[in-house]
Amino acid sequence: MESGTITIYIRLRHKISGVLHETLTLDRLAQVIAPEKIKSHIDKMVIHQIKQEDNSYVVIDAMDIIRRIYQHYPNSDIQTVGPSQTIVVVSTKPKKARLILFALVWILLFIGAGLTIMNFHEDVAMQEVHQKIYTMVTGKVDFKPLILQIPYSIGIGIGMILFFNHIFKKRFNEEPSPLEVEMFNYEQDLDRYIAFHEKEKNEVGNHRD
């Protein structure tokens, strides 16, 4: 290797969160491996300052970072490992508004879930089935076989929790629950979309300059 060349390895973080007007230095955005004497300088390089116009997402491309490092160290060899962009999530919403939103969503889900189960019961004529089971077991007729229906209702809750494996997680196993997997998939999709579209927007902006 040529004696004057320094090799810098960069691994961008997948996703970080920032606040408005925050100055993003390289060590926030990426892990860096570089010769000891220049590493602290590289770590503290300012890559981006979060502005009002950035809205809720900023995508920092590996190319932007390489360009910035080249300005200071023209004879360096920069290797990027891992993702080619970092998504910065700008959090602006105050905490209190979020709490109210959360309460609203909670109530919405509560009522909605109750309504859907009632619709389902009507749809499949569950009442008749319960009456029939009651007659099958006891030989008597009851319009409201609550002795069957109350355990049934509690069972619905138990079944859902079992499916999501949230409460028994520690006891049974460490496998992720279907919801966690779904959540992860959704976030990955979202990140890919953001990375693609925000970058496009930035590039259009840069050409206009």
Partner 1 sequence: MISSLILIIVGFSGGLAVGCGFVAFLAVLGIIPRLAQLTKTYGYIRAYEWSIVASAVIGSWLSLRNTSFHLSHVLLIPIGLGAGVFVGMLAAALTEVLNVLPILAKRIGIHEQILLLLMAIVLGKVFGSLFHWSFFVDK
Binding mask 110-139 for partner 1 (x = CB under 8 A): xxxxxxxxx-xx-----x--x-xxxxxxxx
Q: Determine the size of the site formed for partner 1 (CB under 8 A).
A: 66
145 binds partner 1 (CB under 8 A): yes
- Least CB distance to partner 1 at residue 9 (A): 31
- Least CB distance to partner 1 at residue 46 (A): 27
- Is the Cβ of residue 9 or residue 164 nearer to partner 1 in the bound state? 164
State the Cα angle at 165 between 162 and 168, rounded to 5°.
Answer: 95
Binding mask 49-88 for partner 1 (x = CB under 8 A): ----------------------------------------
Residue with tokens 């491996």: 33
Q: Binder to partner 1 among 187, 193, 196, 200 (CB under 8 A)?
A: 187
Q: Binder to partner 1 among 21, 67, 172, 205 (CB under 8 A)?
A: 172
- Least CB distance to partner 1 at residue 141 (A): 10
Q: In this structure, how many other beta carbons lie within 10 angstroms of the beta carbon of residue 203?
A: 11
Q: Binder to partner 1 among 35, 82, 151, 205 (CB under 8 A)?
A: 151
Residues 110 and 118: their CA atoms lie apart, in Å, by 13
Residues 132 and 141: their CA atoms lie apart, in Å, by 8
The two structure tokens encoding residue 156: 């619905």
Q: Give the strands of the sheet with 76-81, arranged side by side.
A: 30-33, 6-12, 76-81
Q: Catalogue the long-range contacts made by 74-79 (C-beta closer than 8 Å, 24 or more residues apart).
A: 75/4, 75/5, 75/6, 76/5, 76/6, 76/7, 76/8, 77/5, 77/6, 77/7, 77/8, 78/7, 78/8, 78/9, 78/10, 79/7, 79/8, 79/9, 79/10
106 binds partner 1 (CB under 8 A): yes
44 binds partner 1 (CB under 8 A): no
Residues near partner 1, by CB under 8 A: 91, 93, 98, 101-102, 105-107, 109-118, 120-121, 127, 130, 132-139, 143-166, 168, 172-173, 175, 178-179, 182-183, 185-187, 190
